[in-house]
Structure 1
Amino acid sequence: MTACGNRVVDTWAAGAGDPDRPHRGAEQEGHGVVARVQTGVRAVGAVLVAVLGASLVGCSSTGGKRAEDARKAAAAGGRAAVDTPRWTFGMVTHSGDGDTFWDIVQSGAKQAAVKDNIKFLYAHDDEAQQQAQLVDSYIDKKVDGIIVTLAKPDAMKGALARAEKAGIPVITVNSGSAESKKFGALTHVGQDETIAGEAVGEELNKRGKKKALCILHEQGNVGHEQRCEGAKKTFDGKMQNLYVTGTNMPDVQSSIEARLQTDKSVDAVVTLGAPFADTAVKAADSAGSKAEVDTFDLNEKVAAGLKSGDLGFAVDQQPYLQGYQAVDLLWLYKYNADVLGGGKPVLTGPQIVTKDQADELEEYAKRGTR
């Protein structure tokens, strides 16, 4: 499935073909659209089985007959662990192209989809109006459940209302925890961004920092604003916001570099996403600054940066869990009318990680689950 101006990718659980459509995807170019070609259900099944099997091998090595049995079942053909109907769930996020954070979210969602016999669809656009249209497209397809982010909640309110009117259950993830319930979602899976920001401020205090930059790479993203505000609340020093164009990494680097060159008193730089941490390190080096670079979110590069000492700490909100739990909770709702959270978000973070945890986290990051 493709849409003009958007990048849309359809995936489905291994071992269960979709009789209603050929197993291929077309990539159309235009307005930043990039298309992918998928090469048949057997290839897709093999890839997903390999990923699921590899992750379960790690679990079985730590004990448990259930984990070993699950690994063997996956190796035998990626069959679902349940016999419920083959429902279709669609996820729509505010991700831009190339953001590795969302690869990890999808990894969790896809593995839960295999287990729960779910056909999983994914689409994204960093423009809020386009994101809302993608939600509408899933409503038109009459999917059985929708997972959506609310980075810019006002633009998404109408789409969620239409889903509710159509009787399609919705779970929000990652951003928009404050709006999730009043917009009609079952629950929210993610971290409280203000609390996460407060954890950053407290960690900066422990490290004796006095002046920090908070790098906002997406203007209008309420979660980003909440992170920086939370950090300011608990940080004993002075924190300033620096807005950059997150879709242009050279601009990100030059903007951070220029600020560090003009203000040598800055001793900490906090980025709000893992892909920007390495760029901030390069900017500090070019500026001749000794400012410590810290970041929200984790990926393989961040784990390596923590290990080498290029980064001070990271705030992990466990994106793999956000994707996995969202699919699992929708399945539980469809199967048994279960709802978790009791009206409150199901929190996946924050967790402050440092060099001490780098070795272990690097292993998980390499396999795409942290």
Structure 2
Amino acid sequence: MERSSLSRRLAPAVALAAAAALTVAGCSSSSGGKKAEESAGGASAGKATTPRMTVALVTHQSPGDTFWDIVRKGAEAAAAKDNIKLVYSADPSAGAQATLVQNAIDQKVDGIAITLAKPDAMKDVVSKATQANIPVVGLNSGVSDWRKLGLMEFFGQDETVAGEAFGKKLDELKAKHAVCVVQEQGNVGLTQRCDGLKKTFSGKTDVLYVNGTDMPSVKSTITAKLKQDKSIDYVATLGAPFALTAVQSVSDAGSKAKIATFDLNKDLTGAISKGTIEFAVDQQPWLQGYLAIDSLWLYKNNGNYMGGGEQPVLTGPAFVDKSNVDAVAKYAAKGTR
């Protein structure tokens, strides 16, 4: 099994969502639909013959953050299957992201999927979408806030639970001093990860803020921290690209610190196989994108919604390490994990 015992209790909600997504009323297996789905991430369940929809996916992606490429592939796969025109936009600035959501409202889209990295900034525009009778679902960031903001559904992981699991894992590995590297200040999900880690890890935890949009700066900041404090034996990063950069920092600093991270990509699975990264916590971003878009099709065409309007559909966390990385790597190579 590639998924840890931690995530087994999450399986019923995800399985229910996946079953609903695969039960597509009125599908046809046209060759054009199949090609679109394959290019979007490997799905080939046919194409819905329901009326064309337009759905906006608005995230807080920073330029160059490959994590969101995986989310987008999942969304594109669902859109190809469901006869949806997907309009993707992103901005790490909360105000700019809110403006992008307003643009989607003005375009009178049929549904909106958003991330809530900075939920307070999104409150007013979500209310405007609701007033315009546009269904809104959340994904990835905002598990603590989606209901308060009036979103219909949420797809992602509980970042506090993920952080707590990470901290326990560090204890199992006999770590003594960890530094948690935060690439975006004010992002509630990233804060919850570090807070969760500190809560369960019995060793010392430092928090190091870096500029996630400037990788040379990320590298030099981590290097400086490791040179300053030789007692650090684990670097905990909150995204795959930052973990790979931290490998260089450890080398440059002459440190013996090990590296573990949240999130995956194909390069990271290779690093786990080689042993340069100890483990990763996977939240299945492709699945988040897929379910968010598919849920809007299901709601529009059959009145379905998942979680009963009260519970999130959890897609993680699950540990990936040397013992199970091969089972994940083949999907990561396609850009779907």
Give TM-score scaled by structure 1 length.
0.80
1:213-252 to 2 correspondences below 5 Å? 213-252=179-218
Q: What is the SS of the residue equivalent to 2:58?
A: strand
2:54 maps to 1:88: yes
Q: What is the SS of the residue equivalent to 1:92?
A: strand
Provide the C-alpha distance between the structure 2 equivalents of 1:363 and 1:248, rounded to a whole number of angstroms.
Answer: 30
1:124-135 to 2 correspondences below 5 Å? 124-135=90-101
Q: Deviations over 1:281-325 (max 9, x none)?
A: 100011111111001000011100100000000000000000000
User: What RMSD over aligned residues (CA atoms) do the two structures have, in Å?
Assistant: 1.5
CA gap 1:327/1:268 in 2 versus in 1, 3 angstroms: same
Aligned pair count reads 305
Q: Deviations over 1:55-99 (max 9, x none)?
A: 35xxxxxxxxxx7xx4xx5xxxxxx1x221111110000001111
Q: Deviations over 1:132-187 (max 9, x none)?
A: 00000000000000000000111111110110010000001000111101111001
Provide the C-alpha distance between the structure 2 equivalents of 1:93 and 1:304, rounded to a whole number of angstroms.
Answer: 27
Q: Deviations over 1:93-113 (max 9, x none)?
A: 000111111000011110111
Question: Hey, what does 1:328 align to over in structure 2?
Answer: 294
Which segments of 5 or more consecutive residues in structure 2 lack a partner in the other structure?
A: 1-31
Q: CA deviation at 1:48?
A: 2.9
Which of 195, 206, 217 is residue 161 of structure 2 equivalent to? 195
1:109-188 to 2 correspondences below 5 Å? 109-188=75-154
Question: Hey, what does 2:68 align to over in structure 1?
Answer: 102
Provide the C-alpha distance between the structure 1 equivalents of 2:54 and 2:324, rounded to a whole number of angstroms.
Answer: 37
One-letter identity of the residue aligned with 1:48: A
Question: Hey, what does 2:8 align to over in structure 1?
Answer: none
One-letter identity of the residue aligned with 1:264: K
One-letter identity of the residue aligned with 2:168: E
Contact 2:38 2:77 in 1 (8 A): no
Question: Hey, what does 2:251 align to over in structure 1?
Answer: 285
Q: What is the SS of the residue equivalent to 1:123?
A: strand
One-letter identity of the residue aligned with 1:247: T
Dislocated runs of 4+, deviation >4 Å: 44-47
Which of 303, 311, 318 is residue 337 of structure 1 equivalent to? 303
One-letter identity of the residue aligned with 2:276: D
Which of 320, 333, 336 is residue 366 of structure 1 equivalent to? 333
Which of 254, 258, 264 is residue 220 of structure 2 equivalent to? 254
Q: Deviations over 1:316-336 (max 9, x none)?
A: 000000000001111111111
Which of 301, 313, 325 is residue 346 of structure 1 equivalent to? 313
CA gap 1:95/1:47 in 2 versus in 1, 3 angstroms: farther
2:293 maps to 1:317: no
Provide the C-alpha distance between the structure 1 equivalents of 2:236 and 2:104, rounded to a whole number of angstroms.
Answer: 36
One-letter identity of the residue aligned with 1:327: I
Question: Hey, what does 1:297 align to over in structure 2?
Answer: 263
Provide the C-alpha distance between the structure 2 equivalents of 1:124 and 1:310, rounded to a whole number of angstroms.
Answer: 32
Provide the C-alpha distance between the structure 1 equivalents of 2:241 and 2:36, rounded to a whole number of angstroms.
Answer: 25
CA gap 1:164/1:49 in 2 versus in 1, 3 angstroms: closer
Question: Hey, what does 1:55 align to over in structure 2?
Answer: 42
Q: What is the SS of the residue equivalent to 1:311?
A: coil
